[in-house]
Amino acid sequence: MGQIIAVANQKGGVGKTTTALNLGASLAAAEQRVLLVDMDPQGNLSSGLGYPKARIEQHLYHVLSGERALDEVIVDTELEYLRLAPTHTDLIGAEIELVGDEARHGRLAAAIEQVAPRFNYVLIDCPPSLGLLTLNALVAADSVIVPLQCEYFALEGLSHLLATIERVRAIYKPALALEGVLLCMYDRRMNLTQQVANEVREHFVGQVFDTVIPRNVRLAESSSFGKPVLLYDVESAGARAYLQLAQELMRRRDAQVAPQPPRPAPSRAVTQRRALSASGGTE
Ligand X SMILES: Nc1ncnc2c1ncn2[C@@H]1O[C@H](COP(=O)(O)OP(=O)(O)O)[C@@H](O)[C@H]1O
* Contacting residues toward Mg ion, per CB under 5 A: 16-17, 44
Count the Cβ atoms, other than its own, within 10 Å of residue 197. 18
* DSSP summary character for residue 127: P
* 220 belongs to the binding site for ligand X (CB under 6 A): yes
Binding mask 10-39 for ligand X (x = CB under 6 A): --xxxxxxx---------------------
Which of 216, 227, 236, 249 binds ligand X (CB under 6 A)? It is 216
Q: Which is nearer to ligand X, 44 or 193 (CB)?
A: 44
* 223 belongs to the binding site for ligand X (CB under 6 A): yes
* 219 belongs to the binding site for ligand X (CB under 6 A): yes
- One DSSP character per residue, 142-180 reads SEEEEEEESSTTTTTTHHHHHHHHHHHHHHT-TT-EEEE
Which amino acid makes up residue 175? A
**Rounded distance between C-alpha atoms, residue 114 and residue 125, angstroms:** 19
* 87 belongs to the binding site for ligand X (CB under 6 A): no
Instruction: Return the one option of Mg ion, ligand X, none that residue 52 interacts with (CB less than 5 to 8 A, by type).
Output: none
For the chain, the straight-line distance linking the first and the last C-alpha, in angstroms and rounded, comes to 50
Nearest-approach distance from CB 78 to ligand X, in angstroms: 18
* 128 belongs to the binding site for ligand X (CB under 6 A): yes
Which of the residues 234 through 253 are near ligand X (CB under 6 A)? 238
Instruction: Return the one option of ligand X, Mg ion, none that residue 185 interacts with (CB less than 5 to 8 A, by type).
Output: ligand X
* 215 belongs to the binding site for ligand X (CB under 6 A): yes
Burial of 92 (0-12, 13-18, 19+ CB in 10 A): middle
Q: How far is CA 235 from CA 31, 117, 223, in A?
A: 19, 33, 16
Count the Cβ atoms, other than its own, within 10 Å of residue 163. 14
How many amino acids of this chain bind ligand X (CB under 6 A)? 19
Residue ranges in contact with ligand X by CB under 6 A: 12-18, 44, 128, 184-185, 213, 215-217, 219-220, 223, 238
